[in-house]
Structure formats: C-alpha cells, structure tokens
C-alpha cells in the first residue's frame, strides 16, 4: 500500500461468540458473520467503505483516509481496540467503532 498502486490483502476472520455479539451490537445483532476480510487499497478513494461481497467483507481505503488513519490501523494490527474511526469528512457519516476483549481474554 505504500507504493501508491492499487492492491489488496485478505485476512481470515474468527467467528464471534453469541454472547460477545450481543454486547458489541447493543442489542442489534448482525445478520451474519464473515470468514474473510479483504482490504482493498484504491489510491483515489476518498472515504472508507465496508461492504459484503460474496463470503467476505471488503474494506476499501484510499491515500487520503489511509494517511489519516494509519495509527488506528497500526493499533488494530497489534491487537488494540476500543476506539472510533470517522469513515468520511461528512459530519453525518457513521463512525466505525472497534472494541474487543483484551488479548488475555481471547483464546
């Protein structure tokens, strides 16, 4: 992604337990869980987007958002969580909230 050319990487996702889904979703259970996350770097993309595509979720990010959110993604990479990411400069856009149990609670 640092080269500035369009590319993607895929990650395997773990299933989330029923009890954890209830806590995270604030009583709004998601319709389904996905096995994979595809991170698609599209240099010209202005906003973050997350959408289902077949059996995976696709996260699209461009140069503008990647630079602004690099520290948040680095925190996720090392197991951190419990923060929000603005997906757009549009004040009405939803904020993506990340939260998961500390590493020692996950096994």
- Asked if residue 2 is part of any domain, the answer here is no
Residue 33 has pLDDT above 60, yes or no: yes
Distance CA 33, CA 11 (A): 14
> Range with the lowest mean pLDDT among 4-13, 14-23, 93-102?
93-102
pLDDT band at 40 (very low <50, low <70, confident <90, very high): very high
Residue carrying the six token digits 């954890």 = 20
Task: Report residue 50 as tokens.
Answer: 């997350």
- Asked if residue 88 is part of any domain, the answer here is yes
**Which pLDDT does position 90 carry in this prediction?**
82
Q: What pTM, to 2 d.p., does this model score?
A: 0.65
Task: Report residue 16 as tokens.
Answer: 């989330």
**Structural domain of residue 31, as residue ranges?**
7-105
Distance CA 84, CA 88 (A): 12
**Which pLDDT does position 104 carry in this prediction?**
52
What total number of domains does the chain contain? 1
**Which pLDDT does position 54 carry in this prediction?**
87
> Who contacts 102 (Cβ-Cβ below 8 Å, separation ≥6)?
none
């Amino acid at each position: 992604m640092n080269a500035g050319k369009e590319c993607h990487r895929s990650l395997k996702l773990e299933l989330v337990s029923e009890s954890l889904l209830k806590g995270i979703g604030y009583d709004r259970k998601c319709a389904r869980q996905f096995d994979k996350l595809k991170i698609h770097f599209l240099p010209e993309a202005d906003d973050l987007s997350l959408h289902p595509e077949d059996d995976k979720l696709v996260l699209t990010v461009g140069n503008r958002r990647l630079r602004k959110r690099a520290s948040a993604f680095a925190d996720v990479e090392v197991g951190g969580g419990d923060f929000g990411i603005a997906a757009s400069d549009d004040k009405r856009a939803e904020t993506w909230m990340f939260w998961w149990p500390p590493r020692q609670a996950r096994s």
